[in-house]
Amino acid sequence: MTDSRASSAFATHEVTNQPATRGDLDLWGDDPALQTHAETAGADLEHLAAYGARVGMEAMRAAGRDANRQPPELLLFDAGGRRLDEVRFHPAYHDLMQVGIGAGYAALPWEGAKGGHSTHAAMVYLTSQIEPGVCCPMTMTYAAIPALRADKALLAAWVPKLTSRSYNPAARVLARKAGATLGMAMTEKQGGSDVRANATRAVPEGDHYRLTGHKWFCSAPMSDGFLTLAQAGGGLTCFLVPRWLEGGRNGIHIQRLKDKLGNRANASAEIEYHGALAHRLGEEGAGVRTILEMVHHTRLDTAMAPAGLMRAALDHATYWARHRSAFQKQLIDQPLMRSVLADLALDWEGTLALGLHVARAFDGSSPRDRAFARLGVALAKFLGNKLCPGLVYEAMEAMGGMGYVEDTALPLLYREAPLNSIWEGSGNVICLDILRTLAKEPLAGEALSEELAQVAGQDARFDAALRAHMQTFPKPPEEAQARWYAESLATLLTASVLLRHAPDAIAGAYISTRLSEPRGRVAGAIGGVDTDAVLARLGAFS
């Protein structure tokens, strides 16, 4: 559709060969790949259809742009010099949060419905296409619930508010709110990923503790509470720190907001604890083990978000190519453009398929499901996030100069593309975790072998690639080869999922270009691919 308020006629020229504005989109109905893989993952398709139509509306997409263009503002003091330690957001941010929380983004997996984690994972994918920044606080709220199981009293007090369908950003104590969100503050300047080097101190005081120390990254500082790590008498321990107490503000001081490359709608901060009241979560010394329950679930979302960013980038590039002509042909009809877009589409569908396949294991309850979820989510997070920045860049280039300006969504997506690889375990940390999981959990390796064996004999090229992997890595390698090993395993696992659930043309093209036939290192440097079949998976872009 064309905006009726916009004029195409100027004194010097007439606007032609420019795609029309798009109006409302149906992010579910126009995405056959999502429909395929959500169904096989056991997700709630009716719920996703409604959510995809809602967040694809023009007004919702505009809200995403507004929230990103006008980033959060830190207010440390009021006019009289009293501490506020608050962050103010554009109203569009709160609108997006209400839509996500109201649709069960954080609650669905814990409400007992079938396919809760798979449905949640698909919602992450859909939301990331509109405004990725709001995913962070909702993801942490979702992921905190397993960690809270370490304390029955905290679980009873917090979980009803965290799984509420009500979003309430008001600054008030938990008991006076219908809904709440939970953030995380783990890393410190001297340690980063090595949280055992944390120096924040926890001193017992009655039935709680007092924390003193600095946190280099606090995600979503306007949350109602934070899971955090501090050194207690028995060692590194996990704590829940409420932001508000019955008597007023807790001793949490915001030092500054991080000036980030992307994720601009979401606030990230440096904070200090000044005798902040905290509730111990789990035993003293068990902090890493306790908070890893949260990290495990946030990793699912960091595996799904890149698929959403890829989808959004490809959506913009393909729409442009279908409505822009050059050299007497539509761009989409240019063979080289088709090769590039089809090549990118294979990475996108592979990332989507693997992420939702792993989400299905999160919905399982058997030891095998849990073991595969722990290993599979690391593989999915590693590969999808390594592919995402390159894909977004190529989509930007497909649009030429338009893709490089802020009038389009591509700069936003490009800034966002590296984030999920860095958050919740950077690439090296994830690869080491894969090796650690295989060493400590034999069932994880057995589950992975079963996954790969399910498609044995279906495609000779896949079988040959799997044999080559086993010859190169008869056992998990030393640390220096961990990235090679993780990439190889994740690609094989993706291919196996596509063989089981995607159309033959998609699985075959993925295997030939990723596992079998020679190819170049850049997007589009492929051959022998049915680009019509691959591009059809991108849906309708009329």
Whether residue 21 contacts residue 3, with contact meaning beta carbons closer than 8 Å, is answered with yes
**Does 148 share its domain with 200?**
no
Is residue 19, in this structure, part of any structural domain at all? Answer: no
Identify the band that residue 191 occupies on the pLDDT scale cut at 50, 70 and 90.
confident
Quote the domain boundaries for residue 229: 182-287
For residues 516 and 240, give the distance between their C-alpha atoms in angstroms, rounded to a whole number. Answer: 50
**Does 374 share its domain with 416?**
yes
**7 pLDDT more than 90:** no
Q: What is the CATH number of the domain that holds 223?
A: 2.40.110.20
**Does 276 share its domain with 323?**
no
**Does 306 share its domain with 424?**
yes
For residues 393 and 409, give the distance between their C-alpha atoms in angstroms, rounded to a whole number. Answer: 12
Residue 103's pLDDT is: 98
Identify the band that residue 540 occupies on the pLDDT scale cut at 50, 70 and 90.
low
For residues 285 and 452, give the distance between their C-alpha atoms in angstroms, rounded to a whole number. Answer: 38
**Does 218 share its domain with 278?**
yes
Domain stop point among 140, 170, 200: 170
Helix (H, G, I), strand (E, B) or coil at 364: coil
Tell me the per-residue pLDDT of 87-131, one tens digit each, with 9 for 90 and over. 999 999 999 999 999 999 999 999 998 999 999 999 999 999 999
Q: What is the CATH number of the domain that holds 530?
A: 1.20.140.10
Nearest to 433 by CA among 288, 234, 218, 227: 288
Q: What is the CATH number of the domain that holds 89?
A: 1.10.540
Count how many domains the chain has.
Answer: 3
For residues 495 and 125, give the distance between their C-alpha atoms in angstroms, rounded to a whole number. Answer: 20
**Does 419 share its domain with 478?**
yes
Is residue 7, in this structure, part of any structural domain at all? Answer: no
Tell me the per-residue pLDDT of 43-98, one tens digit each, with 9 for 90 and over. 999 999 999 999 999 999 999 999 999 999 999 999 999 999 999 999 999 999 99
Domain stop point among 220, 255, 287: 287
540 token code pair: 């309708």
Domain stop point among 170, 204, 238: 170
CB contact set of 447 (below 8 Å; sequence gap of 6+):
368, 371, 372, 375
pLDDT (mean) for 29-55: 98
Query: DSSP class of residue 1?
Result: -
In order of 86, 252, 253, 380, the CA distances from 269 in angstroms are 11, 11, 10, 28
Tell me the per-residue pLDDT of 165-177, one tens digit each, with 9 for 90 and over. 999 999 999 999 9
Tell me the per-residue pLDDT of 422-467, one tens digit each, with 9 for 90 and over. 998 999 999 999 999 999 999 999 999 999 999 999 999 999 999 9
pLDDT (mean) for 170-189: 94
Is residue 332, in this structure, part of any structural domain at all? Answer: yes
Is residue 12, in this structure, part of any structural domain at all? Answer: no
**Does 413 share its domain with 393?**
yes
For residues 538 and 288, give the distance between their C-alpha atoms in angstroms, rounded to a whole number. Answer: 41
Tell me the per-residue pLDDT of 470-529, one tens digit each, with 9 for 90 and over. 999 999 999 999 999 999 999 999 999 999 999 999 999 999 999 998 999 999 999 999
**Does 227 share its domain with 354?**
no
| Residues of the chain by 3-state class (helix, strand, coil), percent to 5 | 55, 15, 30
pLDDT (mean) for 190-205: 90
Residue 495's pLDDT is: 98
**358 pLDDT more than 60:** yes
Tell me the per-residue pLDDT of 374-427, one tens digit each, with 9 for 90 and over. 999 999 999 999 999 999 999 999 999 999 999 999 999 999 999 999 998 999
**Does 299 share its domain with 424?**
yes
**3 pLDDT more than 90:** no
For residues 211 and 475, give the distance between their C-alpha atoms in angstroms, rounded to a whole number. Answer: 44
**Does 206 share its domain with 100?**
no
**Does 209 share its domain with 324?**
no
Residue 542's pLDDT is: 42
**Does 261 share its domain with 312?**
no
For residues 383 and 378, give the distance between their C-alpha atoms in angstroms, rounded to a whole number. Answer: 9
Q: Is the whole-model pTM more than 0.85?
A: yes
Tell me the per-residue pLDDT of 295-341, one tens digit each, with 9 for 90 and over. 999 999 999 999 999 999 999 999 999 999 988 899 999 999 999 99
Nearest to 186 by CA among 232, 221, 219: 219
